[in-house]
């Protein structure tokens, strides 16, 4: 049974979003890291890059596969998590805390309404 | 409809993540590939290898026929001995790599890749139909009769004898399983069933492979897992099987070996016995040994911090003397493609993040002039070209 914090919003593609002011923090869920297991490499978008909701903007590599990460929201990348780049295992051990990927300044906060609630995401992953 | 081994419900019970491999539904991992890989390197791991194929060849002309279709010299084997060998087409291209065991005089047992069972049997039947002494030998695809497991790791020898008790009753006669030396095979009784046990494996560690019928192998699995628990045994899936063999540079059919690649190009010329007499592909292989090859299998380690190398990623080199701002040559068979500074010269065939070494590793093919250990190469990964260095095989060696 995976962990699904109640204060976050979720994408079908297993990214989570935490909003504060007009800035969202993005990472991947406990379910996703559990499926991947050992994350060995993280490729994050460049600072200042503008991404659209649904656009592939990062790559998570496990021992076996490379997985694309799709931005749940549209905006401009304002910060990336260097700690996770240097220590990719954080994605597995702290997917909602120190394993976060990037922060993005929202250009359309209304997009958050299209994301899944914790209950809806829970129903999707059966957890 | 995917095939399932007799251990399928066991894999489900143990929480195995099931994927498709060679037409079978097999576990890629149970906990994590890294954990399972390290268990094999440091203690013990158990693998379901029931998807592999088994063929029996027997009769007065068996040795001559096998020596005609295989590259290695089967005459070297006395009862209870096995050898790694390859089966080639007329162009010297590899149809499969496999193990052949002599169980007794005139009786041979082949263990072949799961993905190649049908191709192997079809090829051998075709050759047999034209073999002059075909009336003096008999060949059977016995794959559906057998299941198999591999038990690998430095601690296996500490508990396997208690699990499968000796002495052996056929092939090599030994008092106990651990008396088998590398590549030797013996028949033992397990709970009244016949099993063949060989001291072989695909991980680079000491270990055994055990072949028997479905019901018996399911019981052997449970017994080995139980006996190995105090020693740290873990069930291991195909993911760990792949990282383990890549670290020690064992080829995988469909990656380092295929029908357009010869054993010489793949770097396993040691298993080609040119002097034994005529065999299929001999003339091509002899010429390659004498005159050289146009592509060579290399092992490499990433030197830049980067994503892991993967199969099909392009290999580049700089300072080849091939760069020219006016020329543009199409990338493809043997003709380097030019893009900026450097030339694309080959392709990765196997690649992963090495759980033992914590660095990206892999194997691939390049023209021989770029194959020397120490050569700096680049691996193209999503538009970047991080550096790697060609290293001697094996990439991982026990210290």
Residue range(s) in chain B whose domain bears CATH number 2.40.30.110: 295-391
B24 neighbors B138 (Cβ within 8 angstroms): no
Mutate to test the interface with B, among A63, A68, A86 (most CBs of B within 10 A): A63
Q: What is the pTM of this model?
A: 0.93
CA distance B242 to chain A (A): 9
* Average pLDDT of the segment spanning A15-44: 95
Domain housing A61? 9-108
A123 within some domain = no
SS3 helix, strand, coil % of chain A, rounded to 5?
Answer: 25, 35, 40
Antiparallel, parallel or unpaired: β B193-198 and B207-212: antiparallel
Distance CA A37, CA A34 (A): 5
Other Cβ atoms within 10 Å of A38 Cβ, number: 22
Does residue A31 fall inside a structural domain?
Answer: yes
**Rounded Cα–Cα distance for residues B215 and B134 (Å):** 34
Cα–Cα distance between B52 and B120 in angstroms, integer? 12
User: Using the beta-carbon criterion (under 8 Å), do B33 and A40 form an inter-chain contact?
Assistant: no
Cβ of residue B207 closer than 8 Å to a chain A Cβ: no
CB pairs under 8 A between A and B: 40
- Return residue ranges of chain B for CATH 3.30.1360.120: 8-50+146-247
Q: Which residue of B has its CA nearest to A88?
A: B307
B90 within 8 A of B300, measured Cβ to Cβ: no
pLDDT, residue B324, reads 47
Tokens of B163: 């699990």
Cβ–Cβ of A38/B352 closer than 8 Å? no
The neighbouring-strand residues paired with B171 are B186
Residues making up chain B, counted from first to last: 399
**What's the confidence (pLDDT) of residue B326?**
42
Q: Contacts of residue B352 in chain A, CB cutoff 8 Å?
A: 63-64
pLDDT score at A126: 80
Looking at the DSSP bridge assignments, the partners of residue B187 are B170, B196
Q: What is the pLDDT of residue B322?
A: 54
Give the pLDDT of residue B179.
98
Residue with tokens 């070209």: B385
Residue A120 lies in a domain: no
Chain B residues closer than 8 Å to A64 by CB? 28-29, 33, 239, 242, 352
Q: What CATH number labels B53-144?
A: 3.30.70.1400
Residue A116 DSSP label? B
Please check whether residue A18 lies inside any domain of the structure: yes
Question: Residue B62: which of B118, B150, B140 has the closest Cα?
Answer: B140
Sheet holding B193-198, edge to edge: B170-171, B185-190, B193-198, B207-212, B147-152, B44-48, B233-235
Only one residue has tokens 């099931």, namely B18
Contact B330/A at CB under 8 A: no
User: Is B341 part of the contact surface with chain A (CB cutoff 8 Å)?
Assistant: no
CA of A40, closest CA in chain B: separation in Å?
7
Portion 365-384 of B in contact with A at CB < 8 A: 382
CATH code of the domain containing A98? 2.40.50.100
**pLDDT tens string for chain B (399 positions)?**
899 999 999 999 999 999 999 899 999 999 999 999 999 999 999 999 999 999 999 999 999 999 999 999 999 999 999 999 999 999 999 999 999 999 999 999 999 999 999 999 999 999 999 999 999 999 999 999 999 999 999 999 999 999 999 999 999 999 999 999 999 999 999 999 999 999 999 999 999 999 999 999 999 999 999 999 999 999 999 999 999 999 999 999 999 999 999 999 999 999 999 999 999 999 999 999 999 999 999 999 999 889 999 999 999 999 765 544 444 444 444 445 555 578 999 999 999 999 999 999 999 999 999 999 999 999 999 999 999 999 999 999 987
Q: What is the pLDDT of residue B107?
A: 98
Of the CATH numbers 3.30.1360.120, 3.10.450.50, 2.40.30.20, 3.40.50.300, which one belongs to the domain with range B8-50+146-247? 3.30.1360.120
Nearest CA in chain B to A43: B307
- Domain-located, residue A127: no
Q: Which residues of A touch B239 (CB under 8 A)?
A: 63-64
ipTM comes to 0.88
Query: Closest Cα to residue A27, out of A63, A48, A1, A3?
Result: A3
Total structural domains within chain A: 1
> How far does chain A reach from its first CA to its final CA, in angstroms?
5
Classify domain B295-391 at the CATH superfamily level. Answer: Aminomethyltransferase beta-barrel domains (2.40.30.110)
Q: What pLDDT is recorded for position B319?
A: 73
Please give the C-alpha separations between residue B219 and each of A95, A105, B155, B224, B358, in angstroms, as whole numbers.
40, 59, 21, 9, 36
Question: What pLDDT is stored for residue B325 in this prediction?
Answer: 46
């Amino acid at each position: 049974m995976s962990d699904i914090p109640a204060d976050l919003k979720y994408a079908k593609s297993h990214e989570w979003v935490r909003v504060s002011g007009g800035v969202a923090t993005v990472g991947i869920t406990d379910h996703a890291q559990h499926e991947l297991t050992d994350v060995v490499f993280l490729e994050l978008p460049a600072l200042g890059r503008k991404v659209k909701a649904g656009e592939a903007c990062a790559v998570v590599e496990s021992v076996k596969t490379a997985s694309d990460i799709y931005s749940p929201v549209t905006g401009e990348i304002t910060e990336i998590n260097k700690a996770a780049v240097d220590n990719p295992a954080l994605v597995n051990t702290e997917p909602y805390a120190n394993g976060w990927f990037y922060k993005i300044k929202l250009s359309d906060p209304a997009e958050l309404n299209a994301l899944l609630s914790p209950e809806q995401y829970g129903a999707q992953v059966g957890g | 409809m995917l095939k399932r081994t007799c251990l399928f419900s066991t894999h489900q019970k143990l929480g195995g993540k099931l994927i498709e491999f060679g037409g079978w539904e097999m576990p890629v991992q149970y906990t994590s590939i890294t954990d399972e890989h390290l268990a094999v390197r440091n203690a013990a791991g158990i693998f379901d290898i029931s998807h592999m194929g088994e063929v029996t060849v027997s009769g007065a002309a068996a040795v001559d026929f096998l020596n005609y279709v295989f590259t290695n010299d089967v005459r070297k084997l006395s009862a209870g001995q096995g050898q790694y060998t390859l089966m080639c087409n007329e162009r010297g291209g590899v149809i499969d790599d496999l193990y052949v065991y002599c169980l007794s005089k005139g009786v041979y047992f082949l263990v072949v890749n799961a993905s190649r069972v049908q191709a192997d049997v079809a090829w051998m039947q075709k050759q047999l139909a034209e073999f002059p002494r075909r009336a003096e030998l008999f060949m059977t695809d016995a794959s559906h009769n057998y299941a198999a497991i591999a038990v690998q790791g430095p601690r296996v020898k500490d508990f396997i004898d208690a699990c499968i008790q000796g002495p052996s009753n056929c092939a090599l006669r030994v008092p106990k399983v651990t008396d088998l030396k590398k590549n030797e095979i013996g028949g033992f009784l397990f709970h009244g069933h016949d099993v063949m046990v060989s001291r072989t494996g695909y991980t680079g560690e000491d270990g055994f492979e055990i072949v028997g019928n479905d019901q018996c192998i399911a019981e052997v699995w449970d017994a080995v897992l139980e006996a190995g628990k105090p020693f740290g045994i873990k069930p291991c899936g195909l993911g760990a099987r792949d990282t383990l063999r890549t670290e020690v540079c064992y080829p995988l059919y469909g990656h380092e070996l295929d029908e357009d690649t010869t054993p010489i190009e793949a770097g396993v010329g040691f298993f080609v016995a040119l002097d034994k007499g005529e065999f299929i592909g001999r003339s091509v292989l002899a010429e390659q040994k004498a005159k050289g090859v146009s592509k060579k299998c290399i092992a490499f380690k990433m030197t830049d911090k980067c994503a892991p190398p993967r199969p099909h990623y392009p290999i580049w080199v700089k300072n080849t003397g091939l760069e020219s701002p006016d020329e543009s040559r199409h990338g493809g068979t043997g003709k380097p493609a030019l893009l900026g500074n450097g030339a694309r010269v080959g392709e990765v065939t196997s690649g992963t993040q090495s759980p033992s070494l914590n660095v990206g590793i892999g194997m691939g093919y390049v023209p021989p002039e770029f194959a020397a250990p120490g050569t700096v190469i680049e691996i193209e990964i999503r538009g970047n070209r991080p550096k790697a260095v060609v290293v001697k095989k094996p990439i991982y060696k026990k210290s």
